[in-house]
Amino acid sequence: MLLALFIGIVTLVTTAGVVTRRFWLPAGINQHAAAFDSWLGIVIAILGIAFLGAQIALAWVIWRHRDRGQRAVYWDGSPKFEVFSIAIVTVLFLGASVGGARLWTGVHMSDQPAALRIEVLAKQFAWNFRYAGPDGRFGRTKLDLRNDATGNPFGIDDTDPVAADDVSNAALRVPAGQLIELRLNAQDVIHSFFVRELRLKQDAVPGMEIPLRFIAAKPGTYEIACAELCGLGHHQMRSVLIVLPPAEFTAWLAQSKNP
Amino acid sequence: MRTFLSRYLFSTDHKTIGIQYFVLSVLAGFVGLALSVVMRIHLSYPEAKIRLFEILWPNGAPGGVMTPELYLALLTMHGTIMAFFLLTTVPLGGFGNYFLPIQIGAHDMALPRLNMLSFWTTFLSFLVLLAAFFVEGGAPLSGWTAYPPLSAAGPIAGPGQGTGQTLWIVSIAIFCLASLFGSINFITTTLEMRVKGMSLFRMPLTVWAWFITALISLFAFAVLMAAGILLLLDREAGTSFFLPTGLLINDRALPNQGGTPLLWQHLFWFFGHPEVYIAVLPGMGIVSTILANFARKPVFGYKPMVWAMLAIAGLGFIVWGHHMFISGMNPYSSLAFSVLTLTIGVPSAIKTFNWLGTLWGGRIQLTTAMLFSLGFVSVFVTGGLTGIILGQPSLDIYFHDTYFVVGHFHMIMGVASVFAMFAATFYWFPRMFGRMLNEKLGRVHFYITFLGVYGIFIPMHFAGLAGNPRRYADFTQFEFLQDLTILHKFSSHCAFTTAAVQLLFLANLIYSYRRGPLAKDNPWNATTLEWLNKTPDAVHCGAYEYSVPGDTKDFRMQHEEAR
């Protein structure tokens, strides 16, 4: 009977952890995060009820039908019960899948024009970000020009006039409230771009250029973590997302321009 | 000497081979467990100087402080050993070998020599894997999923990515071969060797589970083996299956052209997701059998249980994309994979309902085997429900590769399967070794383990909710991780306790093997044929005829004729 008690204890402690939210997602900084949190809340509420229901039912059955010398009933199934439970579970689970779909299409399938494009280059074990500058065009790059020591991680080719106003930086600065499109790429192994406050994560894969769009509404500094095992420095592959008021961002970009 | 070799080492007897698998896997399980304890020590006390680490790994832990590359090597080996050499081998190679033939009234497996070959191939594979610890650079650090380019580019990608990674791939390829041998054997035996009257729908659910698991193995391991060979070619023969154009690793440009890293992920997870069911389906069969026995009731919904397992096996092959929602794969396909993935929750939920139905109205006897089976149901529910979160790309976009995933799969794939193994060990030990395991030790072992696993893995879910990425060698480099150290400390201490209690299980095995009370012929009053110490002529009823109205005793063995 200890088991029924133990099942009760772990169930209640787990539920208490969910309800008190001592360890939880950080506050979001955009509309997507708000939508994410409310959908997650609904899903967790439904799963929580299922969790409590199933665990308590298990504990209850163990208690209720413990061996007291009675004879067990001979009951080997009920097609009605099976059909009924299949129907309920199907509606619940497929509902979950469909309900969350809009959130996903909102991230990956919007066709709004982006206000700003930023190239992201991930490598063992650093992040680099490139801005096109006032001309809105990225200059030519060459693999053999890539060099951290000379401050040119992207390998920007200075002989290309378009490249003259390109800016590269180790932190990701963006203007608040504008639609940003990152173009993610990695030069060596797979990395993953993860900002908790944006509720966004996307792998950066060598040989691919993967778009990721977001609007960061709230100015501030947020940590960027690598979320795909990339080698011995994976745990220290950190950068920051700095969300600036648009005017400050423009000023920063202007003064960072390559001479 | 010749008899010793042929009886104990190169035996073709399915019972001996089953025990060989069991012993090898218990050994592997304790190695994997020890690695996890070492990892948890490091995660909780990253700066502590630990003499033992220095003795074990003079290069990997200079001064007793573990380097990140050693941590990742341990992580890779822990995952590989547990997934392949414990979760894949005990349920099928161990218990399946021993009990599948005698549960269907056969005298042995259909192909006994192939059976022996598959065990020794598995053994070889294990040795090759362990060898990775002792070569230059140590074991690979690319995790048990071995994503290229990290796993394909060679030593320039990191320590352990040289010979260590090569040995890892070779070991896995050999393991695949062994599993293919084994699965062919299980399928043939089930289809061809059943005694008269043992129709498919009279087979115990354990036999169904092993049969379906063998089918999954056949298709899944074939693909993994092909993938492993391609990866090996990329490393050793200069091909570019997984290596794209323009790689610049550690300031060195690679000549490869035209490959794609995502191809590996598709191939790996085409195997990797079914692998979860290879680990857990036999457990479902075992738990169904044990719940029925100690509730003294027929399995509730026997046929739906079979169909549910078949559905899980079939669907298991078309959901691999849920491991790749954020990989850069076409976002439309994520929606399809999500629907399929959540559909798998339906047969899984049906099984849970039917287990509760089996218990309902029963006469529940809480033996250790029963405790572990009930524990299985509890952790299966807990671990399964979080899958509904991870199966949605819209939510996975946050939870992917966080500790939430670590908690989820350890619960459902690790703990659930291991609980089923413990249950099976307590249930079948008397049949295998003629003696009973000690129930008192068993209970202590169970209760501490039950609380322990919740204590280990529930905090991981909360760390994941806070966004803690997995596979980090320490949590010192990010501000937001500082707040979570208490979760990891708690988790670690639960892990130390739980690991220590497993020694009690080992002691129980050894003590009971030598001194345990002698077992009666059918100590649990069970219905299935393994408890009949001879091959019957025919069977006359289904596998779970407990408490049949009108019978004088409360169980009817399958070979007994109805009155």
pLDDT in tens, A35-81: 999 999 999 999 999 999 999 999 999 999 999 999 999 999 999 99
Q: How confident is the model at residue B500 (pLDDT cuts 50, 70, 90)?
A: very high
pLDDT at B242 over 90: yes
Closest CA–CA distance from residue A249 to any residue of chain B (Å): 24
Alpha helices in B14-56 (DSSP H): 14-44, 51-56
pLDDT over threshold 50, residue B561:
yes
HSE, side-chain direction, 13 A CA sphere, residue B463: 31
Distance from CA of A164 to the nearest CA of B (A): 24
**All structural domains of chain B:** 2-245+258-531 (1.20.210.10)
Q: C-alpha dihedral over B42, B45, B49, B50, to 10 degrees?
A: -50
Of the candidates B253, B300, B360, the beta carbon closest to that of A143 is on: B253
Contact at CB, A124 and B339, closer than 8 angstroms: no
Contact B442, B507 (CB under 8 A): no
| Closest C-alpha among A20, A14, A4, A35 to residue A214 | A35
Among B293, B397, B547, pick the best mutation site for testing chain A contact (most A Cβ within 10 A): B397
Structure tokens that stand for B212 in this block: 């379906």
Mean pLDDT for the stretch of residues A154-163: 92
Report the residue count for chain B. Answer: 563
What is the Cβ-side half-sphere exposure of residue B406, based on CA atoms within 13 angstroms? 27
Give the residue on B whose Cα is nearest the Cα of A196.
Answer: B467
A174: helix, strand or coil: strand
Q: Is B200 helix (H, G, I), strand (E, B) or coil?
A: helix
The span from the CA of B140 to the CA of B69, in Å, is 9
d(CA B17, CA B50): 40
Residues A72-94, mean pLDDT to the nearest whole number: 93
* Mean pLDDT value of segment A252-257: 87
The pLDDT assigned to B6 comes to 77
Neighbours of A14 (CB within 10 A): 19
Instruction: Report the alpha-carbon distance of residue B257 to residue B242 in Å, rounded.
Output: 9
Binned at pLDDT 50, 70 and 90, residue B2 comes out as low
**What is the pLDDT, as a whole number, of residue A96?**
86
Residues in chain A closer than 8 A to B483 (CB atoms): 23
The values of phi and psi at residue A176, to 5°, are -70, 145
Q: Which residues of A touch B458 (CB under 8 A)?
A: 10, 13-14, 17
Q: What is the mean pLDDT of residues B157-180?
A: 97
Measured between beta carbons, which residues in chain B are less than 8 angstroms from residue A105?
331, 335
Report CA torsion sign: A147, A152, A157, A159: negative
Domains of chain A: 2-63+77-108 (no CATH), 116-255 (2.60.40.420)
From B350, B213, B207, B370, select the one nearest B279 (Cα to Cα). Answer: B213
Predicted confidence (pLDDT) per residue in A130-139, tens digit:
999 888 899 9
CA–CA gap between residue A90 and residue B344 (Å, rounded): 10
Q: What is the pLDDT of residues A171-230, one digit of tens each?
A: 999 999 999 999 999 999 999 999 999 999 999 999 999 999 999 999 999 999 999 999
Other CB atoms within 10 A of residue B319 CB: 23
Instruction: Give tens-digit pLDDT for B420-434.
Output: 999 999 999 999 999
- Chain A residues inside the 8 Å CB shell of B379: none
Residues B267, B329 contacting (CB under 8 angstroms): no
Chain A residues inside the 8 Å CB shell of B450 = 3, 6, 10
Q: Chain B contacts of A31, Cβ < 8 Å?
A: none
Average predicted confidence (pLDDT) for chain B: 96
pLDDT at position B563? 62
The values of phi and psi at residue A167, to 5°, are -125, 130
Give how far B347 is from chain A: nearest CA, Å.
8
Confidence of residue A1 (pLDDT cuts 50, 70, 90): confident
Give me the pLDDT at residue B1, please.
Answer: 58
pTM over 0.90: yes
Q: How many CB atoms lie within 10 A of CB A254?
A: 12
**Residue B434 in tokens:** 């003629």
- What is the arithmetic mean of pLDDT over B187-200? 97
Tally DSSP H helices, then E strands, for chain B: 18, 2
CA–CA separation, B336 and B322 (whole Å): 9
Query: CA of B480: which chain A residue's CA is closest?
Result: A223
Helix axes B261-295, B302-316, angle to 10 degrees: 170
Q: Which amino acid is at A90?
A: T
Q: State the pLDDT at residue B402.
A: 98
Does the interface predicted TM-score (ipTM) exceed 0.90? Answer: yes
Residue A60 exposure: Cα atoms within 13 Å on the Cβ side: 9
pLDDT of res. A259: 45
> Rounded to an integer, what distance in angstroms lies between the CA atom of residue B514 and that of residue B510?
7
Residue among A76, A90, A225 whose CB faces B478 most closely: A225
Nearest residue to B448 via CA among A246, A6, A114: A6
Residue A155: the pLDDT is 94
CA quadruple B295, B298, B302, B306: dihedral sign: positive
Cα-only R_g, chain A: 26
CA A52 to chain centre: 28
What pLDDT score was predicted for residue B419? 98
Comparing alpha-carbon positions, the chain B residue that sits nearest to A76 is B300
Percent of chain A with pLDDT over 70: 99
Contacts of B346 in chain A (CB under 8 A): 86, 89-90, 93
> Which of B159, B334, B361 has the CB atom closest to A72's CB atom?
B361
Q: Do B458 and A14 touch (CB under 8 A)?
A: yes
Put residue B246 in one of left, alpha, beta given phi > 0 → left and psi -120 to 50 → alpha.
left
pLDDT at A115 over 70: yes
How far apart, in whole angstroms, are the C-alpha atoms of residue B144 and residue B142? 7
Under 8 Å between Cβ of A199 and B398: yes
Question: What DSSP character marks residue B299?
Answer: P
* The two three-digit tokens of residue B357, written as one number: 């139905």
Residue given tokens 């070569």 in the structure block? B135
* pLDDT for res A134: 86
Percent of chain B's residues with pLDDT above 90: 96
Helices (H) and strands (E) in chain A, counts: 4, 10
Considering only CA atoms, give the Rg of chain B.
24
For residue range B194-219, list pLDDT tens digits in order. Answer: 999 999 999 999 999 999 999 999 99
Among partner residues B394, B487, B554, which is closest to A100 by beta-carbon distance?
A: B394
pLDDT of residue A97 exceeding 90: no
Which of B22, B72, B19 lies closest to B43, judged by CA? B72
